[in-house]
Amino acid sequence: MSASAPQRRITPGDIRARKGGTPLVCLTAYTTPIARLVDAECDVVLVGDSVGMVLHGLPSTLGVTMEMMILHGQAVARGLERALMVIDMPFGSYEEGPDQAFRNAARLMAGTGAGAVKLEGGESMAETIRFLTARSIPVMAHVGLTPQAINVLGGYKVQGRGADADRVLADARAVAAAGAFSVVLEKVPATLADRITADLAIPTIGIGASSGCDGQVLVVDDMLGLFSEFRPKFVRRYAALGDGAAAAIAAYAEDVRARRFPAPEHVFGDGE
């Protein structure tokens, strides 16, 4: 029997073509085992700079480096066969201008095999997005709450309420016009997210936005309930793995202290 043909990898063009269709499923991944788990169900797997907070214990995403993103991008790439892998450009790697952004985006893609990069910012990043896409670097944009701008925004606050809605809408229009193939809408009112989704020709991917977006993304560790102390409103927990892991670790510790582990079946005899 001949080996089955490898699955076709989803492309940025495929994602763009899903506008208005079946909602896009997106999750983050930072390691090979998690990438293997999410690949079967996700259209997009995001190697997010949230890795700095989730796996490295940083207080924000601002301390994430290019080296960290490449390391985790390489790990995720080993676990994917089908989903489009998008990798975040870390803080300070693209804001200086289009030339800097191109050098670092090219480094990320060449070093990891990612199919696209994601960068934060609206109208201020339009020129950079246009520069990158003209040079064969697909860009997923990110507007609304942009965590890399946390010091300017003054916290992880909802963006686009009241008169501020026009700013977020203008940002979304600018990145779409500049050539982004999709845009993440983070922590914006549902009515505004729906308005933007109807307005744009590219897919919107919500996180704390609206079920009317063209897709949804969550940090996989939040969705799996690995960390009980972090419970943002926009996360639905589909499991409580953190509680199960804590119980398992406690049971292991108890067995070790009582000399119940290792048991005879877990050790080797002289003839083995």
Active site residue 186: yes
Instruction: Determine whether 65 is exposed, middle or buried from the number of CB atoms within 10 Å of its CB (0-12, 13-18, 19+).
Output: middle
Has 118 been labeled as part of a binding site? yes
Q: Which amino acid is at 17?
A: A
- Residues 44 and 213: their CA atoms lie apart, in Å, by 15
Annotated catalytic residue within 81, 95, 127, 186: 186
Instruction: Determine whether 140 is exposed, middle or buried from the number of CB atoms within 10 Å of its CB (0-12, 13-18, 19+).
Output: buried
- Residues 199 and 216: their CA atoms lie apart, in Å, by 18
Residue for token pair 């670790």: 249
Neighbours of 183 (CB within 10 A): 28
Has 50 been labeled as part of a binding site? yes
Residue 185, both tokens = 């809408």
CA distances for 31 relative to 139, 163, 183, 242, angstroms: 22, 41, 24, 17
Q: Tell whether omega for the bond before 264 is within 30 degrees of 0, i.e. cis.
A: no
> Which are the contacts of 116, defined by CB distance < 8 A and separation ≥ 6?
12, 84, 85, 86, 87, 109, 137, 138, 139, 140, 181
- Residues 108 and 117: their CA atoms lie apart, in Å, by 8
Has 120 been labeled as part of a binding site? yes
Has 19 been labeled as part of a binding site? no
- Binding residue positions for 3-methyl-2-oxobutanoate: 49-50, 88, 118
- Binding residue positions: 49-50, 88, 118, 120
Active site residues: 186
- Binding residue positions for Mg(2+): 49, 88, 120
